[in-house]
Structure 1
Amino acid sequence: MNLIKLDAIESTNDFLKEMSRSQIVENFTVVIAKNQTKGKGQMGATWETESGKNLIMSILVKEVLKDIDEIFHLNVAVALSVIKALEPLNLPKLSIKWPNDIMAENKKIGGILIENSFKSDNKIESIIGIGLNVNQINFDNLPKASSLSLLKEKEFDLNEILEKLFFQIKKQCSLLLSNQHDFLWNEYHKNLFKLNTPIAFSDNENNQFMGIIQGVNFEGRLEVLLNDDSVKTFGVKEIQMLF
């Protein structure tokens, strides 16, 4: 593993992105930080963490995605990588909340942010940011957050979790490269949070409604069965789960 360790950084994603702009960076290079002052989440949300308590990492992935239509395949592979890495810990109700949150017992324990760039040779380069709550036990004003330590009542070795996660990312990416998309998507749906369960939603105009998650399509849109028996798809900025 080509690993770069930092004490404090605004964003590991931004650091790795800038590094790849200025030099040739080995595929699957990993950057980790003890503290991240401007961590980013979906739709510009911030992610705050206690220094040295959690796994804060970014990994460069290139030569995996072949074209723009495969963008969400990588999201699927990475989310599954986190699930597979954590499965041996026997966390309660481990699941993937669309589009990129990692849940355990209805609490968020991690998040993923993938930033893709398209090079002049039409190749796609991806910076995968993963934040995983490991040994942090205080989550003031975050009632839906938890950590591995809180769930299992013990401390974990961050390096061991990093190694397991790195192994799984390379493994799931190899499945992508060998065109095993159907297998990855089947595994993704098996682990999808609230699949086939009635749940309340809010749209971008704050209208609330009930629906049943049917799955996620290849474009990364959530498929929801509505009360009138129609199935509607929603993008990331169009809908929010209320639970």
Structure 2
Amino acid sequence: MTNSKDFFQNYSYKNFLIHHYHQVTSTNDLAKELLNNRQIFANEIILSDIQTIGKGRMNRQWQSPLGNLYFSLCVDLSMINSQFLSTLPLFCGIVLNKTISNLSAKKLNILNKWPNDLLIENKKIAGILVENTTINDNQKLAIIGIGVNINNNPNNTRFASGNLSEFDLKISNLQLLEKFLDEFDNFFKIWEKFGFKNLKKIWLEKAYQLHQKVTINLGKDNQQNLFTGIFNDIDEYGNIIIIKDQKNFTISVGDVS
């Protein structure tokens, strides 16, 4: 998966330990491997300058050239109510949205695209992939993988993409990661204790296409797996609620396309 020459150095930041690599296949895959081998633990992070096989949701590739932020944060879920877990991608979206908003000198309209993307001016600038794993037979952890386009972005993507530099936000990957961790610490205490219900309003205030007609891709990129209706709400479990034919439909898996 990786080798010693790809490893750069370790950093300690607050109660987090960051393992910085020049290049890996996937930060999530490496984090999972090291967790299973008991080489890293909760509150440890895999940060890489490049991913050769970056991953997005629904087995999509996340293009990961030099100049952007790619990291995976390992979080202990042992004390978390299992009902809260489905909202973790939306929770991380709130944290990342807040992080980037606070860094920008001008007021950017950063939107949350259900369930796991961030947009600026209808361009995707970040994505989140959460994968759960178990170690030591019963310790549940989440691997939170996040990619942010800082200096460049892919072309010819399903959804238009952009990067932070085109919106006059200049920052290194490590600086952006540290700012994210500051916000993560603040919001995690709320999510851990109360779940998503106290954060739902914050997410909806920046929701892409709220109360407008949307199409949900239900998991496969073909016309038979598309569901169209009015984006009405999300529930406390992070599911999107769509109105179609004057009926409410609750959808748990998919994305707004």
Q: 1:124 aligns with which of 137, 140, 162?
A: 140
Gaps of 5+ in 2: 1-12
1:13 shift after superposition: 0.6
SS of 2:108 mapped into structure 1: coil
SS of 1:199 mapped into structure 2: strand
CA–CA distance in structure 2, aligned partners of residues 168 and 147 of structure 1: 21
Give the direction of change, closer, same or farther, for the CA distance of 1:157–1:218 in structure 2 (3 Å limit).
same
Listed as ranges, the matches of 1:202-217 within 5 Å are 206=223, 210-217=228-235
Question: Residue 94 of structure 1 aligns to which amino acid in structure 2?
Answer: I
Listed as ranges, the matches of 1:138-217 within 5 Å are 139-142=154-157, 144-152=160-168, 155-179=170-194, 181-201=196-216, 206=223, 210-217=228-235
Residue aligning to 1:55: 69
Give the direction of change, closer, same or farther, for the CA distance of 1:100–1:64 in structure 2 (3 Å limit).
farther
Residue aligning to 1:6: 21
Q: Deviations over 1:159-218 (max 9, x none)?
A: 221111111122221112222532212212222211112334566661566521112223
Question: Residue 251 of structure 2 aligns to which amino acid in structure 1?
Answer: F
Asked if 1 retains the 8 angstrom alpha-carbon contact of 2:36 and 2:135, the reply is no
CA–CA distance in structure 1, aligned partners of residues 229 and 167 of structure 2: 29
Listed as ranges, the matches of 1:71-150 within 5 Å are 71-88=85-102, 89=104, 90=106, 92-119=108-135, 122-136=138-152, 139-142=154-157, 144-150=160-166
Provide the aligned C-alpha RMSD in A: 2.3
Give the direction of change, closer, same or farther, for the CA distance of 1:65–1:176 in structure 2 (3 Å limit).
farther
Residue aligning to 1:233: 250
Q: Deviations over 1:105-143 (max 9, x none)?
A: 11100100000124566442000000000011x533236
Gaps of 5+ in 1: none
Q: Deviations over 1:20-46 (max 9, x none)?
A: 111163422111101101111010000
SS of 1:149 mapped into structure 2: helix
Q: So what's the TM-score if we normalise by structure 1?
A: 0.87
Residue aligning to 1:23: 38
CA–CA distance in structure 2, aligned partners of residues 110 and 67 of structure 1: 27
Q: Deviations over 1:4-23 (max 9, x none)?
A: 00011001111111111111
CA–CA distance in structure 2, aligned partners of residues 197 and 222 of structure 1: 13
1:57 shift after superposition: 0.5
Asked if 2 retains the 8 angstrom alpha-carbon contact of 1:64 and 1:176, the reply is no
Residue aligning to 1:223: 241
Question: Residue 10 of structure 1 aligns to which amino acid in structure 2?
Answer: T
Question: Residue 253 of structure 2 aligns to which amino acid in structure 1?
Answer: V
Q: So what's the TM-score if we normalise by structure 2?
A: 0.82
CA–CA distance in structure 1, aligned partners of residues 20 and 216 of structure 2: 40
